[in-house]
């Protein structure tokens, strides 16, 4: 099947691109990046050196995914999202010399299976976004987000829970229930959500 790379995309020959993946015009995929099968990289998106994407990820137009980010299967990155990699960014060292790649240690954002990051959100590394979590458009995430959490705001805070369909869950009889799938979840003593097997 192979991958589909649009004219004008800049894909380093050392990048590994999975079967069925599509990379659109003006996107850049750097050396040693690994994209799983069926990924879509939108126009003008940037995938940094050594970044890892699972299968069926979507990185929308002009999103910036800086190394060493790791995305699980089925992750959605909305338009103009930024995943940072420098906790204390500076252009120069204390002596005034221009910083080089050897003058700082990159830290990454980890996004687990099925999570979605809304348009223009920023995830400030190092943070982990839990599986199936939803980060609202424009949010600034500065601390870890639990599985299934819906977070919004600056800084982002939990507003509720979402299921695998992405819709907000409703509390019914001690459970959190998805209106789309009927899946049920329970909130444990650690304020985490767990899916109830049916």
Which domains are assigned to the chain?
Answer: 4-163 (2.160.10.10)
Distance from C-alpha of 49 to C-alpha of 66, rounded to nearest angstrom: 8
Distance from C-alpha of 95 to C-alpha of 85, rounded to nearest angstrom: 23
First and final C-alpha spacing in the chain: 37
> What are 60-76's pLDDT values in tens digits?
999 999 999 999 999 99
> What are 90-149's pLDDT values in tens digits?
999 999 999 998 888 999 999 999 999 999 999 999 999 999 999 999 999 999 999 999
Calculate the average pLDDT of the chain: 96
56 φ, ψ (degrees, to nearest 5): 60, 35
Positive or negative: CA dihedral 100, 32, 128, 120: positive
pTM of the model: 0.95
């Amino acid at each position: 099947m192979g991958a589909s790379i649009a004219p004008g995309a800049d894909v380093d020959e050392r990048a590994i691109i999975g079967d069925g993946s599509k990379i659109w015009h003006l996107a850049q995929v750097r050396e040693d990046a690994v994209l799983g099968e069926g990924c879509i990289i939108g126009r003008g998106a940037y995938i940094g050196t050594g970044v890892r994407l699972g299968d069926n990820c979507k990185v929308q137009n002009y999103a910036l995914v800086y190394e060493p980010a790791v995305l699980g299967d089925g992750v959605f990155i909305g338009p103009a999202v930024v995943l940072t990699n420098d906790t204390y960014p500076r252009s120069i060292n204390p002596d005034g010399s221009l910083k080089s790649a050897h003058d700082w240690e990159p830290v990454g954002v980890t996004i687990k299976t099925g999570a979605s990051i809304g348009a223009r959100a920023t995830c400030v590394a190092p943070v982990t976004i839990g599986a199936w979590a939803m980060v609202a458009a424009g949010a600034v995430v500065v601390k870890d987000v639990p599985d299934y959490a819906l977070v919004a705001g600056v800084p982002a805070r939990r507003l509720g829970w979402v299921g695998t369909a992405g819709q907000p869950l409703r509390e019914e009889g001690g459970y959190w229930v998805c209106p789309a799938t009927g899946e049920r979840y329970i909130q444990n003593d650690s304020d985490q959500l767990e899916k109830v097997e049916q």
